[in-house]
Amino acid sequence: MRFIKDNFLAIFLSILLIFLFCHASFISKQLVSLLFQDRVSSIPMTDSYTKKGEYAYVKPTSSFTPYSKGDIKRIFYTIVDAGWKDFTFYCPHEYTNCISDMKEFSQDQDLLTHINNYVHPYHSFSNIKTTLSETGEVKIEVSYLYSPEQITLIEQKLDQIIKNEIDSTASLYDQIKAFHDYIIDHTKYDVKRNDEGTSSYLSYLAYGPLIDGYATCNGYTDVMALYLNRLGLKNYKIATTQSEDTKEGHVWNAVFLDDEWLHLDLTWDDPVSKDGKDYLQHKYFLVNNEELEEADHGEVEVLEHRFDPSIYLEFQKNQ
């Protein structure tokens, strides 16, 4: 009997080992899922550049366990808006498509660009790296555009301009106009970067128009966003991406002023002229949708302002 019992135990243990070996991956995934479910990294501190803005398209969240694509979008926005360099969260086992949705989301560069437009310029990212694990772990690493040294110089220059060029007792409209005119009068469009993709100027940052005196649409838009933030006005950047209609994308400012969302485009108010002279215009200064469309239908039709109203939803009411 002892021999039979020993054989039975040996056979049972052999079968158990074979089962565990064959199903090791599945069992480990289930154990990790149970251990990591609803777990996130400790929440880092935010800084003074965190907007925590609530817009129709995206809002910040305090919950970092996603159950839908909308939750994923809110988590990404919150991470970037807060300026966190790295963050880890976990997909719950109930959200069976979480990893595939995360992969799709992280590879959608147009979508990430639009989300980037809702944060403070100093929290704009140059790259987001997403590392996905089959266990449901999601690691986000963010590289930001602006260095601390650049921010210091930009803030000093802004202080100087506001002190010497802006009448703080004037209306908000006139203060924005004074800043708009100053930037255009002291900035040239960086044609070289636009045509060749490279330049000695940091024209794609607010540093360009403020320090170098050169800007692309990104630089114009960032510097105006910085000023609008200082005025305490709700604002974001609007982007159109490259498409069949537009050979290249474009970005400009949206600001909520006098109970209305308005467009503000310094790039197109500082045109590159054929005669080499500097021009200052106000065709795209604080205009609504109808006025923007009218300005675009000039001698040359402008296509770069054909934005997606399903993303920049504040302008739908003006359609």
Q: What is the 3-state secondary structure (H, E, C) of the chain?
A: CHHHHHHHHHHHHHHHHHHHHHCHHHHHHHHHHHHHCCCCCCCCCCCCCCCCCCCCCCCCCCCCCCCCHHHHHHHHHHHHHHCCCEEEEECCCCCCCHHHHHHHHHCCHHHHHHHHCCCCHHHCEEEEEEEECCCCEEEEEEEECCCHHHHHHHHHHHHHHHHHHCCCCCCHHHHHHHHHHHHHHCCEECHHHHHHCCCCCCCCCCHHHHHHCEECHHHHHHHHHHHHHHCCCCEEEEEECCCCCCCCCEEEEEEEECCEEEEECHHHHCCCCCCCCCCCCCCCEEECHHHHHHHHECCCECCCCCCCCCCCHHHHHHC
Give pTM, 2 decimals.
Answer: 0.85
Quick one: what percent of the chain has pLDDT higher than 90?
A: 74
Summary mean pLDDT of the chain: 88
CB-based burial label for 318 (10 Å; 0-12, 13-18, 19+): middle
What domains lie within the chain, and their CATH numbers?
27-144 (no CATH), 148-318 (3.10.620)
Integer Cα distance of 97 and 248 in angstroms: 34
C-beta of residue 251 within 8 angstroms of C-beta of residue 305: no
Ramachandran quadrant class, 197 (left: phi over 0; alpha: psi -120 to 50; beta: rest): left
C-beta of residue 232 within 8 angstroms of C-beta of residue 199: no
Integer Cα distance of 8 and 31 in angstroms: 29
pLDDT digits (tens, 9 = 90+) for 256-291: 999 999 999 999 999 886 666 778 999 999 999 999
Ramachandran quadrant class, 89 (left: phi over 0; alpha: psi -120 to 50; beta: rest): beta
Dihedrals phi, psi of 296, to nearest 5 degrees: -75, -20
Tens digit of pLDDT per residue, the chain (319 long)? 554 545 555 555 555 555 545 555 544 445 444 444 445 557 888 899 999 999 999 999 999 999 999 999 999 999 999 999 999 999 999 999 999 999 999 999 999 999 999 999 999 999 999 999 989 999 999 999 999 999 999 999 999 999 999 999 999 999 999 999 999 999 999 999 988 989 999 999 999 999 999 999 999 999 999 999 999 999 999 999 876 465 678 999 999 999 999 999 999 999 886 666 778 999 999 999 999 999 999 777 889 999 999 999 999 865 5
Amino acid type, 13: L
Residues ≥6 apart with Cβ < 8 Å to 202: 150, 208, 211, 212, 219
Q: Rounded to whole angstroms, what are the CA distances from 156 to 31, 210, 273?
A: 53, 10, 31
Q: Rounded to whole angstroms, what are the CA distances from 32 to 27, 96, 299?
A: 9, 15, 63
Integer Cα distance of 103 and 121 in angstroms: 26
Amino acid 277: pLDDT:
76
